[in-house]
Structure 1
Amino acid sequence: MCDSTAVAIDIDALARWLTSMGIDFALPLRLCRIGHGYSNLTYRVADGEGRAWVLRRPPLGHLLDSAHDVVREARIMAALAETDVPVPRILGVATDSEIADGPVVLMEFVGGVIVDTMPIADSLIPEHRRRIATSMPGTLAKIHTVDLPATGLADLAGPGPYAQRQLKRWSGQWERSKTRESPALDALTGRLAASIPVQHEISLVHGDFHLRNLITSPTSGQVISVLDWELSTLGDPLADMGSLLTYWPEPGEPSSGVFEASTLEGFPSRAEMAQLYLDETGRDPATLRYWHTLGLWKLAIIAEGVRRRTLAAPRNESTAGTPTLAHIDALIAKAGEIADTAGI
């Protein structure tokens, strides 16, 4: 959407900010909403000569504590600039209220293919889909080998094992954002809390690693940039693989509202994606179903929060639409099924 009046950004103030940072641009500036994310709002900023940047800001309306922290997200991406993890370059962070009613982050625009709609996924030949998919586990492995002290990210998370922190945080988010009661989700929360695996290592985790958060090469299919670091923290690396599986539906499965590109020919199965990661890292898969279950549980809570936020401020709505109660309940049911098979 390219209606700059709806984005709560002061274009004149944005121009002054770019000038203060020494960024060369030509008027007029134009903002267009991009991406299908349900959380922070992302815009392509284009100038009068066709140059482009990306601007990111929190959603409109009331926000839950610690959520949608674009400044923290920018810090993580800036810290990764000199690592093997491909990320856009952060150009500036503004925390005053001159440009918007909240902080904004400016980053470079990375050209490439984002598989974020079914028409884009359909347009790719099966071999290209496979090249994209098989580059994803290796990219995750790069994230999980980041040197935390060297990047200054060793203090990114609070104390305590990752699973306990996740359960505490997202249970709290559910209580503050739910639009109805869900005995099924409450029961699943209890099962996850009673089955927390022992954490043997700690690494940087992305927290929301899936197709729509990646820019890929139009020729090789390789991941050339990882986006949306809002949920990144320190924790168990297998949690990221569980998150990837959460966003990887297979052909013939009932729809839960999750983007279904992975059901197309060429994209590997969840089992093959997991094996590619395990072969790359040598990690033990024993807890992977726990993290897959927790990933679905977390996604259901996120979707409920998106629903509440969009109902309160319709301008937050993504082009992908608003999650329905049926889709949220389907996620909870799927998580329960995987928990059953894992003995959780």
Structure 2
Amino acid sequence: MSEGDAPGFDAAAFRRWYDEQRPGELAGPVRAEVIAGGRSNLTYVVTDGARELVVRRPPLGHVQATAHDMRREYTAMAALADSDVPVPFVRAHCTDDDVLGAPFYVMDRVDGVAYRSRAQLEEVGADDTAALAHGMVEVLARLHSVVPDEVGLGDFGRPAGFLERQVRRWGKQLEGSATRPLPDAETLLARLAGSVPDDGEPGVVHGDYRLDNLLCVAGDPHPVKAVVDWEMATLGDPLTDVALLLVYDGLAQTPGGAAIADAPAAPGYPDRETQLATYETAGGRPLGDLSFHLGLAYLKIAVILEGIHHRFLAGQTVGEGFDRIGEAVEPLLASGLDATAGRGGGGGSFTT
């Protein structure tokens, strides 16, 4: 690699391309540094010594473009730039693989922290932790208040049949990643397939909304500075974001789940009822019965963790905590059955 390059990033090629897109913005030679990468999208900080930009591209050796959709991320953030949802300012999008070997986009760097762990939140204290989580839920409510047509996202997805497709999608994902018999998964899938709610008013769905996909400044009156990682964004039922956030937050109390998300175990982090009340007060969608949505969220995360467990058993994933992730799958599926008991027959339902 030449000076200024990074894995998957040719500094000279990028500079030539960027100068054509936004002439005069960069003053000198650029250099790049990877700040996040691996199986997810690669993220670089790129600087000319005076300005800092962020570049996102798919991982090296990626196969499925739809799994790492740069256009989707760019489109979502560009559309939301003038909304009440804080997003980084996006500057350019490249579809030419000849520049960096894959599509990518460029955005401004946002000062803020992605809080991923209990230890990080313990450093800021209980009061600021509560404020961060409050801000997180308020921003989600603002996202769900966006009218897609008004921001140019009217054709961003296929909202009709969204929930039914989600059930099928995660069932197929499980078929390809299961490492053992999971009878509760079969029961949960059947229950969800038989109780899909009618399509409601479509909205913008982030698809992976949680604290570590936000850039925040603790102690600030408006702590959420940017929502990032929009690769799963679409149009559909926004309550899937709410349910997924609740289930992510419960991982800290699930065997093996703390390796994925233990931030919600920090002092000051609000409980589920407080978060739902915040969402409604902030003008989020009417919640009503979340039984189906919670069941779907439990299924989705269980399938994701079973896939990680599958890769761990195959020696494809290394790192602390991966040896226990498989323990969380069956408790999550059992929780999904509990959540859907009201819809699937027997027991109550989760309502607000």
Tell me the TM-score range normalised by the shorter chain. Answer: 0.7 to 0.9
Which of 330, 333, 336 aligns to 1:335? It is 333
> Structure 2 CA distance, aligned partners of 1:226 and 1:280?
17
Deviation, structure 1 residue 133: 0.6
Deviation, structure 1 residue 326: 4.3
> Structure 2 CA distance, aligned partners of 1:252 and 1:183?
21
> Compared with structure 1, are the counterparts of its residues 323 and 232 closer, same or farther at alpha carbon in structure 2 (3 Å cutoff)?
farther
Deviation, structure 1 residue 229: 0.8
* Structure number with larger C-alpha Rg: 2
2:262 paired with 1:260 = yes
Aligned to 1:297: 299
Root-mean-square deviation (CA, aligned residues, Å) is 3.0
Contact 2:31 2:47 in 1 (8 A): yes
Q: Deviations over 1:203-231 (max 9, x none)?
A: 11111110110011343252121101111
Aligned to 1:248: 249
Matches within 5 A, 1:185-264: 185-220=185-220, 222-249=223-250, 252-256=253-257, 257-264=259-266
Contact 1:306 1:322 in 2 (8 A): no
Q: Secondary structure at the match of 1:67?
A: helix
> Structure 2 CA distance, aligned partners of 1:38 and 1:77?
22
Q: Secondary structure at the match of 1:31?
A: strand
> Structure 2 CA distance, aligned partners of 1:222 and 1:309?
36
Deviation, structure 1 residue 152: 1.6
Tell me the TM-score normalized by structure 2: 0.84
2:135 paired with 1:154 = no
Q: Which AA in structure 2 matches 1:199?
A: D
> Structure 1 CA distance, aligned partners of 2:13 and 2:139?
37
> Structure 2 CA distance, aligned partners of 1:323 and 1:166?
28
> Structure 1 CA distance, aligned partners of 2:190 and 2:64?
23
Moved more, 234-243 or 63-72: 63-72
Moved more, 121-130 or 91-100: 91-100
> Structure 1 CA distance, aligned partners of 2:171 and 2:252?
31
Aligned to 2:182: 183
Q: Which runs of 5+ in 2 are unaligned?
A: 345-352
Aligned residues: percent identity?
33
> Structure 2 CA distance, aligned partners of 1:322 and 1:93?
35
Tell me the TM-score normalized by structure 1: 0.85
Contact 1:113 1:216 in 2 (8 A): yes
Moved more, 273-282 or 303-312: 303-312
Q: Which AA in structure 1 matches 2:106?
A: L
> Compared with structure 1, are the counterparts of its residues 33 and 146 closer, same or farther at alpha carbon in structure 2 (3 Å cutoff)?
same
Aligned to 1:19: 19
Contact 2:96 2:103 in 1 (8 A): yes
Aligned to 2:143: 143
Q: Which runs of 5+ in 1 are unaligned?
A: none
Deviation, structure 1 residue 251: 6.5
> Compared with structure 1, are the counterparts of its residues 304 and 48 closer, same or farther at alpha carbon in structure 2 (3 Å cutoff)?
farther
Q: Deviations over 1:177-235 (max 9, x none)?
A: x2635434343322221222233322111111101100113432521211011111111
> Structure 2 CA distance, aligned partners of 1:158 and 1:332?
31
> Compared with structure 1, are the counterparts of its residues 99 and 208 closer, same or farther at alpha carbon in structure 2 (3 Å cutoff)?
same
Deviation, structure 1 residue 7: 2.6
> Compared with structure 1, are the counterparts of its residues 276 and 331 closer, same or farther at alpha carbon in structure 2 (3 Å cutoff)?
farther
Q: Secondary structure at the match of 2:81?
A: coil
